[in-house]
Amino acid sequence: MAGDQDHALLLVEDDAKLAALLDRLFTGEGYTVDVARDGQSGLHHALTSRYAVMIIDRGLPAIEGVDLVRKVRSRGVATPILVLTARGTTEDRVEGLDAGAEDYVVKPFEIDELLARVRALLRRHTDTSARLDLGERYLDVTARRVVGGAAAPIELSGRENELLQLFAAHPTQVFTRDELRRLVFQDADSPGAVDTYVYYLRRKLGRDVIRTVHGLGYRMGSA
């Protein structure tokens, strides 16, 4: 199972050679790749893990590619899907798109084109879904800044962004310092860092963005 959802990619491809090639290719580009060899296992992955993009071959054993797309979509999974196909006829293409795929690539394809299309899918998808509600304002996760209200946008550093992201995604939950350290600060030994970054966020966004729960930890200010 892939851990990093932002760059996790599901590849459903029965041809071992092609699967290995694409796996290497995308791994080299910084993606975390899960490979499924047939439609059944592909469906299982698609429904149990979260991916940024799925690449599905049309000619699959167990479940045909287009059926797989249809099944995944019928379960409410909105992840962008790119279909690989050997046949490039219009009917073929329309069928894939009608089933709910965002894009299709005809084999044999240029490696660069495939990469470009995957990037395009990621871009389009993340562009619209990377905002977290902050009451009056919102956090633009990809641009790493807080926008909204009358004031000018407030730029955040990488750590500040990660920390605020976590709080904003779980507005009611109380996080202990230990949890925050594990989730946001990779180094296990940075006891004071959590406090410091809470302080930074408060200084930039106002004392109330994050509330202290004495003896327990922190939680989101609003709600």
Partner DNA sequence: GAGTGCTCTGAGGTTCCTCTGAGATTCGCG
Partner DNA sequence: CGCGAATCTCAGAGGAACCTCAGAGCACTC
Give residue 83's identity as a one-letter amino acid code: V
For 189, the 3-state DSSP assignment is: coil
Site for DNA in 127-166 (CB under 7 A): 155, 157-160
Query: What residue 91 binds from a copy of itself, DNA, none (CB within 5 to 8 A, per partner kind)?
Result: a copy of itself
Q: Residues 198, 205, 209, 220: which binds DNA (CB under 7 A)?
A: 198
162 in helix, strand or coil? helix
SS3 146: strand
Widest pairwise Cα distance in the chain: 65
Report the residue from 151, 191, 206, 208 that binds DNA according to the rule CB under 7 A: 191
Which one of DNA, a copy of itself, none is in contact with 20 (Cβ closer than 5 to 8 A by kind)?
none
Binding status of residue 214 toward DNA by CB under 7 A: yes
* DSSP per position, 12-67: E---HHHHHHHHHHHHHTT-EEEEESSHHHHHHHHHHS--SEEEEESS-SSS-HHH
Q: Which residues bind a copy of itself (CB under 8 A)?
A: 64, 67, 87, 89-94, 97, 113, 116, 119, 127, 142-144, 155, 157-158, 172-174, 179, 213-216, 219
Q: Which residues bind DNA (CB under 7 A)?
A: 155, 157-160, 177, 185-187, 189-193, 195-199, 202-203, 207, 212-217
